[in-house]
Structure 1
Amino acid sequence: MEVAVAVRRPSFFGELGFWAVRTVVHEAAALGHALLLQQLIESGAPVNIVNLDNITPLHDACIQGQAQCVRLLLDAGAQVDIRTVHGNTPLCNACAAGSPECAKLLLEHGATANPTLTALTATPLHEACIRGNVDCVKLMIAEGAQLEAFDIYFGTPLHAACIKEHVDCAKALLIAGASVNAAKFHETALHYAAKVRNVDLIELLVEFGGNVYARDNLGRKPINYTRPGSPPALCLQFYESTPLSLQHLSRVALRTALGTRAQEVMSKLNLPNRIIRYLCYC
């Protein structure tokens, strides 16, 4: 069976095969038509064909969370870390789509958990935090994603989670050892939590050692970004006026000292499980 690959512009033969505006392979991958995609592959259709934005069928399958098509493409030799003109890898797309299934397949085929940041893109972990995909966040953390990778637009993944008000993603990052007081132009995650007026985020960040007195490049503390008398303002006012307990300070100090090794180290301590769970924020 011979299958024609439809193109709407002249093709250019190059390192990845050729480029086109969009092809049947792209469409089949994006729509999850696995049988058609398999037929196309068996008929010799190039799996690494790119359009003008350097988007491959693998990118399209990942952004739509089409795990079966992702597997077919990878088994047929699709390039796992190819980047679009904007710098996105297929793993970025899978994490943005909230598809741990696609992300796992890519990682099993050698996808890079920490692709080099560009001016136009974030890391897969950033993408998961921006979209609030906590399962992908946890997967990327387990794969060694850099918790302090700095995106010029969002800052760290923790900043991104707070800007988008994804409390569960922020908690997963903090438990894994993300720096709660890392700054983007002197703005901490707590500044962002105050700006979006999210009390749950404020309390979470303070619990993990967020500095309520930190000042940004305008000299403003988090409370200065709240409306006087509002729940976020009252929450921050309480923390500014009420000293943290010695127990809380000790836990924060230990977590800060151990960083990303906290869970591993504390699980080996000869301490009651109740205390270990407290130290690990379980």
Structure 2
Amino acid sequence: MGDIGFWVDRTALHEAASQGHVLQLKELIENGAYVNVVTVDSITPLHEASLRGQTQCVKLLLAAGAQVDARNIDGSTPLCDACAAGSIECAKVLLEHGANVNPPLFTATPLHEACMSGNAECVRLMILQGARLEAHDCHFGTPLHVACAREHIDCVKVLLNAGAKVNAAKLHETALHHAAKVKNVDLIELLVQFGGNVYARDNQGKKPVDYTRSGTPASLCLQFYESTPLSLQQLCRVNLRNFLGIQALEVVSCLNIPQRIIDFLSYC
């Protein structure tokens, strides 16, 4: 029995939800199965369906009274699981049924999970629904930290354009430190263009360049930006975007200025 682990009380409802067996799930519900049944680690059938991207099962369970914000032993909600799976359709259904985009967690939020999965559309949806850009996970830091650590550059672009703070720190470690560690030059350049501080030091006193090997493209890129400050034009863009905050794109698009300047301020 020792290798059965925490799945000893996994039910037929969990299995049907996980595998997307819609007819079986419907029959179980009609025969009185309790839709909010949990395993010993508090996983509900709705968690299972969400994590597997089983949209029809999610709809069935919610219609039968499944708790949309149920938490498992790690604190994750079905919306967290849908985002972890990169399932935009499941996420939309959960949100339509009142799922909290900012559940009171000390761990990863739905936005963190979307950044981990690398689904930029899911990241965009969470932001449109009011996800906190600076939500701080005790292990991963902000969603921007997560997206950079996983090298999901499309997600990084969405976050930065939405107003995520490029120099937010986790133990004094910025997103640029993460980009340096994974040696991603495109990511380094993107962060710098949005105002990433190449001189920032983490809790070990190290700058981003200190996490690169001398002579490598990532090292040369950071050395260049350390010795060549951003142009006045670039600095003006960064400062204006910082001043406008999360409303920057909306405000800039309404300004009575040439389209070329709008495009520049919008990083197009």
Match of 1:50 in 2: 38
Once residues 215 and 279 of structure 1 are traced to their aligned partners in structure 2, the CA distance between those partners, rounded to angstroms, is: 28
Deviation at 1:32, TM superposition (A): 0.4
Match of 2:237 in 1: 251
The amino acid that maps onto 1:44 is: G
Out of 192, 199, 222, which is 2:185 matched to?
199
1:132 aligns with 2:118: yes
Q: Is residue 7 of structure 2 the alignment partner of residue 31 of structure 1? A: no
Q: Is the 8 A contact 1:63 1:94 kept in 2?
A: yes
**1:272 Cα deviation (Å)?**
2.4
RMSD: 1.4
Kindly state the Cα deviation for residue 134 of structure 1 after the two structures are TM-superposed: 1.4
Deviation sequence 1:61-103 (CA, Å, 0-9, x none): 0000000100111111110001001101000000000000000
Give the ranges of 4+ consecutive aligned residues of structure 1 lying more than 2 Å apart after TM superposition: none
Q: Which residue of 2 aligns with 1:113?
A: 101
Q: Give the structure 2 partner of residue 63 of structure 1.
A: 51
- From 271, 275, 278, the equivalent of 2:257 is 271
Take 1:233 and 1:227, find their aligned partners in 2: how far apart are those partners?
Answer: 6
- 1:185 corresponds in structure 2 to 171
Paired positions, count:
263
The residue that corresponds to 2:81 in the other structure is 93
Contact 1:20 1:49 in 2 (8 A): no
Hey, what does 2:65 align to over in structure 1? 77
Indicate the larger mover: 123-132 or 94-103: 123-132
Tell me if the contact between 1:30 and 1:60 (Cα under 8 Å) persists in the aligned partners. Answer: yes
Please tell me whether the aligned partners of residues 20 and 50 of structure 1 are also in contact (alpha carbons under 8 angstroms).
no
Residue 58 of structure 2 aligns to which amino acid in structure 1? V
| Map of 1:162 onto structure 2 | 148
CA–CA distance in structure 1, aligned partners of residues 258 and 33 of structure 2: 60
Distance 2:258 2:55 in 1: 42
Deviations 1:148-169 (A, max 9, x none): 0000111000001111111111
Identity, % of aligned pairs?
69
Local SS of the residue matching 1:148: coil
Shift in Å, 1:20: 7.3
- Structure 1 gaps of 5+ residues are 1-7, 9-18
1:208 matched to 2:194: yes
- After TM superposition, the score normalised by the length of structure 2 is 0.95
How far apart, in 2, do the equivalents of 1:205 and 1:117 lie? Answer: 27
Q: CA deviation at 1:243?
A: 2.1
Query: How far apart, in 1, do the equivalents of 2:38 and 2:130 lie?
Result: 29
Write out aligned runs for 1:211-250 (5 A).
211-250=197-236
Give the distance between the partners of 1:226 and 1:20, measured in 2 at CA. 47
Unaligned runs of 5+ in 2: none
Letter paired with 2:120? V
Check if 1:104 corresponds to 2:95.
no
Q: Aligned AA for 1:63?
A: L
Separation (CA, whole Å) in 1 of partners of 2:191 and 2:90: 31
Match of 1:261 among 231, 237, 247: 247
User: What SS is found at the alignment partner of 1:37?
Assistant: helix
Q: Distance in 1 between matches of 2:94 and 2:191?
A: 32
In structure 2, give the amino acid aligned to 1:23.
Answer: T
Question: TM-score when scaled to structure 1?
Answer: 0.91
